[in-house]
Structure 1
Amino acid sequence: MKRSAEAGSIGVHQASFSDDAALDSKTAVTTVQIMTGEIIGYLSDMGVSPNLLRLSLSIESSDMRYLTTAEMRDWNIITSNDTVTAQTVPSSEPVDKPVSSPSAKAGATATAPSTSRDNALDFIRRYHEAWSRDNSTALAFMRKAYEDQVTFYGRVVDRDAVMKDKATFALRWPERIYSVKPGSEAAVCGEKCDVSGVIEWFARSRERGKTSSGMAEFAIVWNPATSQIESENSKVLATDRGAQAPERIISQWHVENGECRGSTNPDSPETQTACARREEIGAMLDTFGWCYGHKNDYGYQMKWHLCDAASNRP
């Protein structure tokens, strides 16, 4: 059986009953168990990984998590190599959807030493951390991040053209938080590295009175020899109309905080990484004027809020 789908065309979340469903708790539990069993059987019949169900059970019924191309391929949801790959217009186009995170179509299949993979993933983290800073710092990083010639959203252009696009975007959205969704990043390296994942953003222009929030799939081709990007492209998976708070970024903080505080092995590299990412995300939220807890709060009282005089600050 041949199956293909476009990235962002399939979304999952928890099952739920309508508000007017007249079900007692025992009947509701039984119904969910029966339905889950049927889903597991169907996924097995179709040869689809149970990771799809695990993901859906982790997403609130009021939310939606759209699958990336890598997830659909790895979980055998798509079985065709001619998957539809829609292309997003560069970020300088007049739309209120910041999509300046890098992306490209990857094709390498060779496995490289872990150092190349680790370096690629570290680069993509630093890329988005830099892009989340002030325009001067962000654009200085961008200028060093690209090769002289770049395949940029399907067109071969020089670095100056890329920088013009980035500068236009930065002026339009001078305050930005771009953060890779935990667990979504992947890198396959041979001579070059194909790096992909999901980026979540929140951006603001005080001058225009505009905010933007959403999620996009990204992939780049990165050269380990030069530590520079050779190709970039991206696709928006979701936008949050009217978002006034960085809820997606706050949600990432809670994920990393849970991994950091809830680990049974606080000295493990995974725990240390989660703790470091929590602090990094917290610092970015602070630059946007969002704080976690007040100075005299107990742990259970702490919540993310617009900072005030009594707020905890990093």
Structure 2
Amino acid sequence: MRSSIFISVVISLLALTASPSHAAIRFAHVKAANNDILLIEGAFEATDRPDKLETEIKSSIPKFVAFNSLGGDGDAAIGYGRAIRRLKLLTLQVSGSKCEAACLLAFVGGTQRFAEDSSMVVDRTLLSSGTPGQQTSSDKYKSYFTEMGLDPSFLAFVTGLADGDRRVLSLIDMAGFGLVTGQPTPYVAPTAEETVASEEVPSAALNEAALQFFQDMQRTWSTNEGMSFLASNYGDSVLYYGSQRSKADVLQEKQQFAIRWPMRIYAVRSGTAHAACFDICTIFAVVDWYTYSPARKKSSSGAVNAVMTWDPTTHKILAENGKITTNDKSVAGPDRIIRRWLTDSSACSLSYSQDACNSQALLLTQLGNSGWCRKPDATWGPCTPQ
């Protein structure tokens, strides 16, 4: 029999007996099945040297680095983050332990970053040197976030917080800011009879398959075949926007939406989609949408940070979530999608980006299916009936 072990359970239990997260940095090694985890606990201090991390892993290289820390000195945390990146380690954060303020600077050093919902807390002390009342220039943080692949909006978000304003980040927030590249999943230990490799490595082939599935899902949901596609590809039980629901329940909600908005365009924004596959796949992307109801003469459009969990073995959707980041006002037509087409058209012509070229062609088809065409004078408008 195979035993499912959540990494989060192990870290949570350890955190209960760990030293206080405001004490000086210390290390603890945790082993969960074949997942070796190095837990970094305590507050980062100005005197902390990241070479302590290199010494710590010489005898045993962990699969993940996790944290139980309320923050501390930003420069020290950045030093740890760069050491983690140099050592090509993965970082993991779960809701059972803390990663607050400057701790995030160390966390983002991971070559791949995994986190559970609400496992990180941000406030303005993230940009503090660790000395009370002393704020440092944002230039070094901007440079560091760029180096680690975060979205520029993250720095703007932190600097926009008022003193004392603490924000618990949802998984969707983390994905939008680029803080995470995936989500922790249950680890299933192989039996003695199985020959599954013990070292899990992200699969490039699976990542590509997951991205293609996600693209197909958005494209098909924009057509009359959308309900059929979902009926074939949802799991029997789906973690749908935070609630575990039956497939039938989710499909009923989707059907009601499709009736309300019979014309739909859902398009993955070029360059935003990425997947992380181990035993299952997590896909993140920004999706632009436009919906229209001819009967009600109503339309809507906007953008959403979308997350989907997909089983590459069964090809079933296990979880779906999203957070609307933009909801356009006074929508008269698919202006957002047309702007996307223009952007992708330029990128395709100037840089020959295959991603942009593919997106341009798909958007042209989707706009045409929704009754919008490009005119001879290069403007857009309702298609002229033939």
Alignment pair present for 1:275 and 2:372 = no
**1:213 pairs with one of 276, 301, 307:** 301
Counterpart CA distance in 2 for 1:283 and 1:138 is 16
C-alpha distance after superposition, 1:234-257 (max 9, x if no partner): 111110121112122112212221
Structure 2 stretches lacking a partner, 5+ long: 1-70, 72-99, 105-116, 119-136, 155-171, 188-199
Normalised to the residue count of structure 2, the TM-score between the two structures is 0.53
Deviation of 1:285 after TM superposition, in Å, equals 0.6
**Contact 1:259/1:274 (<8 A) preserved:** yes
C-alpha distance after superposition, 1:92-140 (max 9, x if no partner): xxxxxxxxxxxxx832496422110000000010001000012xx1111
Counterpart CA distance in 1 for 2:280 and 2:334 is 34
Q: Percent identity?
A: 28
Within 5 Å, give how 1:86-235 maps onto structure 2.
Answer: 106-108=183-185, 111-134=201-224, 137-235=225-323
| Number of aligned positions between the proteins | 226
Counterpart CA distance in 1 for 2:173 and 2:301 is 18
**Contact 2:310/2:318 (<8 A) preserved:** yes
Q: 1:55 to 1:150 in 2, by over 3 A?
A: closer
C-alpha distance after superposition, 1:258-294 (max 9, x if no partner): 222113xx5xxxx344322211110101122221231
Q: 1:219 to 1:257 in 2, by over 3 A?
A: same
Counterpart CA distance in 2 for 1:68 and 1:292 is 36
SS in structure 2 of the partner of residue 277 of structure 1:
helix
Q: 1:53 to 1:41 in 2, by over 3 A?
A: farther
Counterpart CA distance in 2 for 1:107 and 1:304 is 44
**Contact 1:107/1:194 (<8 A) preserved:** no
Counterpart CA distance in 2 for 1:53 and 1:155 is 28
**Contact 2:271/2:355 (<8 A) preserved:** no
**1:48 pairs with one of 117, 124, 145:** 145
C-alpha distance after superposition, 1:11-36 (max 9, x if no partner): xxxxxxxxxxxxxxxxxxxxxxxxxx
Counterpart CA distance in 2 for 1:306 and 1:39 is 47
Deviation of 1:172 after TM superposition, in Å, equals 0.9
Counterpart CA distance in 2 for 1:68 and 1:255 is 25
Q: Who is 1:305 aligned against? A: 381
Q: Who is 2:368 aligned against? A: 286
- Where relative contact order (Cα < 8 A, 6+ residues apart) is larger, the structure is 1
Alignment-mate amino acid for residue 191 of structure 1 = D
Alignment-mate amino acid for residue 207 of structure 2 = R
Counterpart CA distance in 2 for 1:290 and 1:132 is 14
**2:174 pairs with one of 69, 93, 102:** 69
**Contact 1:106/1:220 (<8 A) preserved:** no
C-alpha distance after superposition, 1:156-202 (max 9, x if no partner): 22211111111011011111101111111110100000111111111
Counterpart CA distance in 2 for 1:73 and 1:179 is 19
Q: 1:111 to 1:187 in 2, by over 3 A?
A: farther
Alignment-mate amino acid for residue 362 of structure 2 = E
Counterpart CA distance in 2 for 1:126 and 1:74 is 26
SS in structure 1 of the partner of residue 318 of structure 2:
strand
SS in structure 1 of the partner of residue 145 of structure 2:
coil
Counterpart CA distance in 2 for 1:42 and 1:205 is 46
Q: 1:284 to 1:156 in 2, by over 3 A?
A: same
Q: Who is 2:342 aligned against? A: 254
Deviation of 1:155 after TM superposition, in Å, equals 2.2
- Structure of higher CA gyration radius: 2
**Contact 2:288/2:303 (<8 A) preserved:** yes
